[in-house]
Amino acid sequence: MKAPVVAGVALLATCWGAVAAAPPRPKSMPPNAIWVPGPNAPLDRTPRGVWVGCWLDRVKNVNHCRVTDHGGRVEFDEDFVPVVGSGPVKEELLRLRSIGTMELWTWVEEDSRDVPVVRLVDGTILVPARDAEALRGRYAEKRK
């Protein structure tokens, strides 16, 4: 009697989107990229979530961040700036903090678009450069 119950629980966990390991990091993403898991979906075994990675563009002297889906399709790719301070974050300090998908995206009313907000392990918050004015006030006090 126990075997059918165990098999049933295992089947339900699989069908209802049990948390899966991150898919392989796309070649287009830097080594510091993190996997941000998306919400589970019943009966959908496709990896749900996005890869987020940032690097220092030494030519332009800015931080650049990219968001891709599990297979490497680019969803966002822009220059980023810290909400506090000036200048880019040094390459060795670009250590991204693991976050959930609800913490990654924010709405920018001025541009009518969702944009990623990147959090580093040292508490630094990076936002898209073109939306910095709109987002600095919102995130400057949220540093952790």
Residue tagged 């919400």 (tokens): 39
Tell me how far apart the alpha carbons of residues 77 and 69 are, in angstroms, rounded to a whole number. Answer: 12
User: What would the pLDDT profile of 69-116 be if each residue is shown by its tens digit?
Assistant: 999 999 999 999 999 988 899 999 999 999 998 899 999 998 899 999
3-state helix, strand, coil in the chain (%, to 5): 25, 30, 45
DSSP β-bridge partners for residue 115: 106
**Does the reported pTM lie above 0.85?**
no
